Amino acid sequence: MLLRPSDYFRMFSGRIRKTLGQHFLIQPRTAEKIVQALMVRPGDTVIEIGPGLGALTAHLIRLPCNLHLVELDADIAKALQSVMPSETPATVFWHIEDILSSDLLNKPGESKKAEKIKVIGNIPYSISSPLLMRLIENHRHIDRAVLMVQREVARRWTAKPGTREYGLPTVLLACCALTERLFYVGPGQFYPKPKVHSAVVKIKFFERACWEYPGWPYFRQVASRLFRMRRKTVLTILKSFMDATLAEQILREAGASPGTRPENLSPEEILRLARSIASKGQRTD
């Protein structure tokens, strides 16, 4: 890593900001494995979310890419900049801002071919859900993301139908990407040591999301409505915003059993259901 916690505290009078969920990765080998999973090629545009003390950054700056470092903590960004080599194979850009409000994810990379960007980071629990939505909404501009998140979050993102963890994030991701849980990371690899375990997840986005019809906003509305009432049957949920005859017709067309609960529907079945509802011009709000 570029800056050890002890040096940050001693040289820069640094402090841990609990409100930002700061837990710094201190195991170089783990950091190297995470960066390797991103598969950076020469000329790629890479966005690192929350470089912190530079555990991942130390490996990324050795690669000939356009590297955007997005850090909300201005003090830690200033400290990291001061210890970073002046010349590196990577072309480095700093952004002292919140990734959730940044426009970096909204546009393609800087190469002449305007290739898709790659995203990497150690993600605090508090922003994992809104960040996932940002990535999904901008999936057309993103090739892949390699993210370290809380273990329970990783399990929700990669869950199978019928399991406790399966839910809205699983379905939305499955319809626009292949998501793989790579490995777990124990609390002892961080400073300060968190109370939870972490996991590294790779998300490889499709060229085209499956929801092009009925469209992202509509599909998200339908899926959200289903999982807000996940213990109810699908027929009961549909009858909450349409008449029973239409609900039964939609289920027949989608090939879904009336007595099935949302947690037992595959992403493909939920997509068919959304398409059938949309074909009837049915509002879901």
- In the annotated binding site, the residues are 23, 25, 50, 71, 98, 122
Q: Is the dihedral of CA 231, 236, 239, 245 positive or negative?
A: positive
Distances (CA, A) of 78 to 24, 55, 61, 84, 188: 16, 16, 17, 10, 27
**CA–CA gap between residue 239 and residue 248 (Å, rounded):** 9
Nearest Cα neighbor of 235 from 247, 249, 226 is: 247
**CA–CA gap between residue 92 and residue 179 (Å, rounded):** 28
Q: Name the DSSP letter for residue 40.
A: -
Q: How many CA atoms lie within 13 A of 95 on its CB side?
A: 18
**CA–CA gap between residue 256 and residue 237 (Å, rounded):** 13
**CA–CA gap between residue 24 and residue 188 (Å, rounded):** 11
Residues at the binding site for S-adenosyl-L-methionine are 23, 25, 50, 71, 98, 122
